[in-house]
Amino acid sequence: MNIAPARTALPPFDQARVDRLMEDAGIDVLFATSKHNTQYLLGGYKFIFFSAMDAIGHSRYLPIVIYEKGGPDHAAYIGNRMEGGEHQNNPFWTPTLHLSSWGTLDAASLGIEHLKTIGKAGARIGIEPSFLPSDAYMALRQSLPEAKLVDATGMLERMRALKTPHELGLLKKASEIITDAMLATIAWAREGSTKGEIIERLRCEQTNRGGHFEYCLLTLGSSHNRAASDQAWKKGEVLSIDSGGNYHGYIGDLCRMGVLGEPDSELEDLLAEVDAVQQAAFSKVRAGVLGGDMIAHAESVLKASPSAAFTDFFAHGMGLITHEVPFLMTNHPVSYEGTYSTRPLEAGMVLSIETTMLHPTRGFIKLEDTVAVTETGYEMFGDRGRGWNRGGQ
């Protein structure tokens, strides 16, 4: 299905802001190929057929959104042949559609022809190197020798940094689904429940609430091993359940604690230490505060903690992917520079804030929370179950 321009384009994003970011990055036209950025540029759309696996036949699915700075009427979406039905039910906003590809090279060829059609064969084209297959990249390079291929990764990250009210609603829903699923799972689990069984229960709890389960990192007892196994929960032991999933593509990522029985005074104190670091970080979250100042304050509280030697603090941005703008800490643990440590937080940014204690005898004790930055402070998503939750209820 190929559809030529036939209507006025109405981009589902802040066009003026995207144009400014493109200008600052020296980009004339975007050639976006990642699922998360094409989803953003298409106003939230992602093709369900390839939600779990891109591979098909000898190649793979390669969605492409082409957007010219200041020229939404020249925008195009290149997708799979099966996406024609999606367009019939919910029309794509891009004036030009090429829904006829099956692999990387035919998708790239359609993109190249569109760039030539709109007079951008020699333009500064913003690409995503980490999400552009080598054969598609070579096709661009060979077919458009006069073009300058520009790394658009940073520009696209900044584009997604400030969430709209709609996006914030999706992130809140994702967080609530995960939190409620974790609390239900902890209450269900009992003596003898294995890690594998608990993880499967969590998957069902998330799915039944409308979420898309992605992973669960689980510990029982004194172990710090978070991989699935046949280890069974025993009376008096702690449980740490850390899970990520999404709702319409937007990520929830939280951690809550359980105990099989009643927590003793030591466990109460240990979780209170973890929460004190979390609260210190929360106290510095608001628009205008430097990201590094929030990190430094939380780390100062952690340093004074009796368990500082085996406890770690971390914070990162959240959105369509986990670990996006704002990038607050360098290589901790994901490999990127903490470029936003010297920049102010902005209203609409969303953060995951987490404090992890690897106690030598009591086990893995952690809280991870999701907060949205506001002008005056923050809003926490999934704000429940932050204490000791009892298993076997």
* pLDDT of 128 strictly over 90: yes
Across residues 272-288, what is the average pLDDT? 98
Can you list the domains of the chain with their CATH numbers?
Answer: 2-160 (3.40.350.10), 165-390 (3.90.230.10)
pTM above 0.85, yes or no: yes
Region 139-164: what's the mean pLDDT?
A: 98
Q: Could you report the per-residue pLDDT of 2-45, keeping only the tens digit for each?
A: 555 445 568 999 999 999 999 999 999 999 999 999 999 999 99
Between vectors from CA 197 to CA 229 and to CA 179, what angle results, nearest 5°?
Answer: 105
Q: What is the mean pLDDT of the chain?
A: 96
What is the rounded distance in angstroms from the CA atom of residue 336 to the CA atom of residue 327?
Answer: 8
Residues with Cβ within 8 Å of 272's Cβ and at least 6 positions away in sequence, in order, are none
Q: How many CB atoms lie within 10 A of CB 325?
A: 23
Question: Residue 86: phi, psi to the nearest 5?
Answer: -60, -40
| Span between the terminal Cα atoms of the chain, in Å | 55
Confirm if 94 and 23 have CB atoms less than 8 A apart.
no
